[in-house]
Each structure stands twice: as C-alpha cells, then as structure tokens.
C-alpha cells in the first residue's frame, strides 16, 4: 500500500475519536449553559409557575433520569415530581359521572330567602327563620339555617343590630313630630329665623314663628303656642325629634314632656337623622324663598303662613299617595274624571307664584 494512502487513512482514523469526543464535550457544555441559565432565572423569579403540560413533560423526563440526579437536573424537588405523578394517575382514574355521596346542597333560592329574612328582621334568630320557612313550605333544619347565616357573615343570634334611623322613623312615624330652624335673608341682607314643626305621620307642617333674634326664651314660647294649637292631637304624639341646638333648653323639652312626649336627639352633624324636616326645609327654599324677596319679619310671616296653608291643604305628597296632609280621604278614593264633563279652574297663590287647580262641573 502506498505511503500517502496509509497516511490519509491513519489521519482519518484519528479524526473519528476527536469528532466523537468533540460532540460529547459540546453537548455537556450546552447542558452546563442551560443549567446556569436556569439558576440565574430562579434567582430573579420568586416562584416558577408550571402549567399542566410542563408538569407532564417533567414527569415523563423524570423516568429517564436516575433518581439520585433529580436534584441536579430538575428545578423542583423529587417529592414535587412524585406528587405530580400521583395527581396524573388520580385524574386518569376519576369517575366524574358518578354523583357525590351525601345529602344534596340547599337550593340557592332558599339561601337567598334565608338571608332576606335575616336582613328584613333584625330580631329573628336562626330558629325563628327556620319556623317561618316551615310555614312557607320550605322544611329545613335549624342547623342548616345557622350554617347559611354563618357562612354569609350574618350573626345567627336573635339580636344582630339595633334599628337604623330609617327603620325607627318608619315604625314610629305616626307618633313623631320634628322641629328645625330655617334661616332666610331679607332684601336688606338681614338674617331671619323661622321655627317649623312637621308631623311625620300626616306630613302636616306648622310654622311656630319668625324672628331675627331666636333666643331660648322665644323658642320656649313658640313651643307653648304649638302645644295649644295642636290641642288633643298632642296625645297621639310620642316623640319629638330635634337637633342639639343650644336654643332648645330644658324648658323647651319640659313643654312636650308634660304631654308624655319623649325627646329624641339626632346625632351631631347628621341631617339624615332628621331627614323629613330637612326635606321640607328644602321644599320651602325651592318653591318659595328662592323665588321671592322678603322685606321684613311680618312679610316673611305672611308669606310662610300662606304657603303652609297651600302645603297642608292642597299640595300632594308621594308618601300619602298624592293626598295633602289635611285630607281625610282614603288612599284609594281617587276617581278618573273626564275633561269633557269638568272644567279646570286655576287659583293663584302668592300672586301667582304658585297655582292650585280645581275642577268644576261644566
């Protein structure tokens, strides 16, 4: 064999192990680079979140790597890999078509009804609610009612909370009279004060008086005048709702206490606690005082008196089914009339600032 051929053959035989060794070194270098990259990423990310496909892939690869090398190869612990594998097996052998054992859960409509009864009746405990449900045709155990209330964050005890101001005023409306001061400015920028009272049950409005200097003595005298005006209607009143103004003294409260009327003080800076009186003050401003110039105390007295007559005898009120406060008609006494048989007559109030409408037979 010629020497050049022998030399080329030996040279090629030497290259084969070098190529094999070089590929193995390159592969090991790539693995080391990927491991280092994973270590850098784990330092920057607090927790790596794997999706289901990632867990399946790592669980399959764990079967190809010896268990003693799992800690060096995988970024998770061996216990985590075994847990993933058990979850895959459990998911494979589940039977979702089979029903869960035990009693069926309470219907959502019944749960909503239980929470509604607890919200609308603050003194009802879980046994009282269970009795009401049984009367309505929903038999349920008291323990189930207790669990539903407890899960919703509602105290199943009989007394969950006291009545709110809205609940208190609604329940006691026919026995409450409220008082408040209304201020107005004249043409000469003189500040005047009017003391008004309103009965919650009938929405009947009373003007006690108008003055530029509302002293405590003046306020007491106006309370005496109101008590005389109400007469026997004072016996139907149970509470006087007022704020904490210094003009309401003990002598003022004593006039109402003599007729067994209890004084209820609204919280400081809480106008919503005396909402009905605050609303009627707003009505006086929108419909009268903001549309008229007041000259003096006498003018203010006459204007307010005339408007309050309209307010009590003609103005409809939503809370009374569109009937005025002084009306004694039943709530369903309204009848449909035809315009062909009746003529509508306008009656101006306060020189046409407000109008009243009546119908007469044609």
Asked if residue 338 belongs to a domain, the reply is no
Domain end marker among 96, 121, 151: 151
Asked if residue 101 belongs to a domain, the reply is no
Residues 40 and 55 in one domain: no
DSSP 49: P
Asked if residue 89 belongs to a domain, the reply is no
Residues 237 and 263 in one domain: yes
Mean pLDDT of the chain: 79
Residues 314 and 240 in one domain: yes
Element (H, E) at 58: helix 52-61
> For 176-202, what is each residue's pLDDT tens digit?
899 999 999 999 899 999 999 999 888
Residues 7 and 114 in one domain: no
Q: Give the pairing of strands 354-361 and 262-265.
A: unpaired
CA separation for the pair 275, 254 (Å, rounded): 24
DSSP bridge pairs for 360: 343
More reliable by pLDDT, 18 or 180: 180
Q: Give the pairing of strands 354-361 and 342-349.
A: antiparallel
pTM for the structure as a whole: 0.55
Range among 118-127, 150-159, 225-234 with highest mean pLDDT value: 225-234
Asked if residue 20 belongs to a domain, the reply is yes
Looking at the chain, the whole-number percentage of residues with pLDDT higher than 90 is 25
> For 230-246, what is each residue's pLDDT tens digit?
888 888 888 999 999 99
Residues 244 and 324 in one domain: yes
Domain ranges, residue 255: 168-330
More reliable by pLDDT, 7 or 229: 229
Enter the tokens of residue 22. Answer: 């070089």
Element (H, E) at 15: helix 3-44
> For 43-95, what is each residue's pLDDT tens digit?
677 666 777 777 677 777 777 777 777 666 666 666 776 776 777 777 766 66
> Is the pLDDT at 333 greater than 50, yes or no?
no
Asked if residue 133 belongs to a domain, the reply is yes
Quote the pLDDT of residue 28: 66
Residues 3 and 26 in one domain: yes
> For 200-232, what is each residue's pLDDT tens digit?
888 999 999 999 999 999 999 999 999 998 888
Which letter, b or e, does each residue of 181-197 get, where b requires 16 or more Cβ atoms within 10 Å of its Cβ? bbebebeeeeebbbbbb
Residues 142 and 290 in one domain: no
Residues 124 and 248 in one domain: no
> Is the pLDDT at 109 greater than 80, yes or no?
yes
Report, as an integer, the average pLDDT of 271-298: 90
Asked if residue 309 belongs to a domain, the reply is yes
**Number of domain units in the chain:** 4
Quote the pLDDT of residue 302: 95
How far is C-alpha 3 from the chain's CA centre? 102
Sign of CA dihedral 86, 87, 89, 90: positive
């Amino acid at each position: 064999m010629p020497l050049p051929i022998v030399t080329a053959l030996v040279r090629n035989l030497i290259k084969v192990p070098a190529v094999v060794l070089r590929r193995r070194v390159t592969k090991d270098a790539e693995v080391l680079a990927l491991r280092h990259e994973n270590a850098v990423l784990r330092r920057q990310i607090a927790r790596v979140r794997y999706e289901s496909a990632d867990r399946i892939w790592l669980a399959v690869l764990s079967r190809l790597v010896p268990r003693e090398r799992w800690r060096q190869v995988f970024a998770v612990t061996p216990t985590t890999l075994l847990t993933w594998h058990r979850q895959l097996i459990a998911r494979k052998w589940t039977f979702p078509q089979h029903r869960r054992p035990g009693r069926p859960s309470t219907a959502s409509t019944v749960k909503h009804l239980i929470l509604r009864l607890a919200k609308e009746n603050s003194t009802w405990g879980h046994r009282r609610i269970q009795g009401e449900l049984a009367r309505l045709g929903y038999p349920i155990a008291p323990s189930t009612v207790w669990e539903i209330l407890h899960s919703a964050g509602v105290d199943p005890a009989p007394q969950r909370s006291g009545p709110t101001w809205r609940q208190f005023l609604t329940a006691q409306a026919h026995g409450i009279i409220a008082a408040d001061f209304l201020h107005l400015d004249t043409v000469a920028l003189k500040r005047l004060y009017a003391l008004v009272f309103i009965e919650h049950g009938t929405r009947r409005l009373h003007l006690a008086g108008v003055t530029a200097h509302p002293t405590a003595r003046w306020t007491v005298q106006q309370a005496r005048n109101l008590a005389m005006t109400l007469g026997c209607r004072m016996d139907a009143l149970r509470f006087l709702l007022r704020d904490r103004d210094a003009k309401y003294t003990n002598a003022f409260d004593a006039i109402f206490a003599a007729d067994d009327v209890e004084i209820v003080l609204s919280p400081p800076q809480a106008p919503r606690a005396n909402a009905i009186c605050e609303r009627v003050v707003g009505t006086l401003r929108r419909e009268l005082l903001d549309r008229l110039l007041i000259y003096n105390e006498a003018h203010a007295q006459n204007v307010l008196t005339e408007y309050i007559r309209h307010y009590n005898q003609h103005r409809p009120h939503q809370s009374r089914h569109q009937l005025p406060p002084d009306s004694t008609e039943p709530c369903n006494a309204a009848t449909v009339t035809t315009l062909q048989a009746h003529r509508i007559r306008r009656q101006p109030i306060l020189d046409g600032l407000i109008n009243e409408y009546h119908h007469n037979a044609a």
